[in-house]
Amino acid sequence: MRRSGKMRRELESRILSIATRHLIVKLAQSGIAPNSLTYAAFLVAAAASILYALSRYSATLAALAGAVYLLSALLDGLDGQLARLSGKVTKLGGFLDSVLDKAAEILVCVGIALSGLTDHLSPLLFCASSLYVSYTRARGEGVGVDLSGIGPAERGERVLIITAASLLMPLHQDALAIGLYVGAVLSAATGIRRTIYAARTLSR
């Protein structure tokens, strides 16, 4: 399972790299700082959160919010590539990327909760399980255990779940709530798998 997870992440990273290579080169040539993309991704996610909060009476607006959130995730996927290509990989950049990623996810969950498009429990469970996934990885890294690629719902998968569910809102009024519950279950499963893997690794 560990090997398949790493292979999946490597494949996703390779596909993204191929698809965005030309854009990354252009960004590097323009002198744009990687951290600027990190900030931009966060601001776009904040805009998605606002759109969700305003979509109480508009399923179409919720779908737009999902598309904007996906754009935020795509921007977030570029900052690391740009940093590596331009030789500007820094500890500050890695820190900001991780922290603002999580802040963006929390903001989106808050926006959804305020929208009234779902019950209050689904965004809460989604957010809590997401934090569980992130915390297990952070603690794993702190004790020397790499947990990336373990589990079915890392950040990229969670973004896709929310986006897909949002885009389905004009067709089914409960699509977003269902998506959040599915994401919460998969995220909890990811956190549990990571906890077990780390415990077994550290007990050897």
Mean pLDDT of each 10-residue bin along the chain, 204 residues long: 58 61 82 94 98 93 98 92 89 94 97 95 97 96 93 94 97 96 98 96 93
User: Can 101 be counted among the known catalytic residues?
Assistant: yes
Angle ∠(52,9,193) on CA atoms, nearest 5: 80
Residue 34 in 3-state DSSP?
helix
Q: Which one of 79, 97, 101, 119 is the catalytic residue?
A: 101
Whole-angstrom distance, CA of residue 27 vs CA of residue 102: 25
Residue 68 in 3-state DSSP?
helix
**Phi first, then psi: what are they for 32, rounded to 5°?**
-65, 130
What's the whole-model pTM score? Answer: 0.88
Whole-angstrom distance, CA of residue 56 vs CA of residue 51: 9
Counting residues of the chain whose pLDDT is more than 90, the rounded percentage is 76
Q: Which domains, and CATH codes, for the chain?
A: 2-202 (1.20.120.1760)
pLDDT of residue 18: 64
Model confidence pLDDT, tens digit, residues 89-146: 999 999 999 999 999 999 999 999 999 999 999 999 999 999 999 999 999 999 999 9
pLDDT of residue 182: 98
φ/ψ region of 144 (left if φ > 0, alpha if ψ in -120 to 50, else beta) reads left
pLDDT of residue 5: 56
Instruction: Answer yes or no: are the C-beta atoms of 96 and 35 closer than 8 Å.
Output: yes
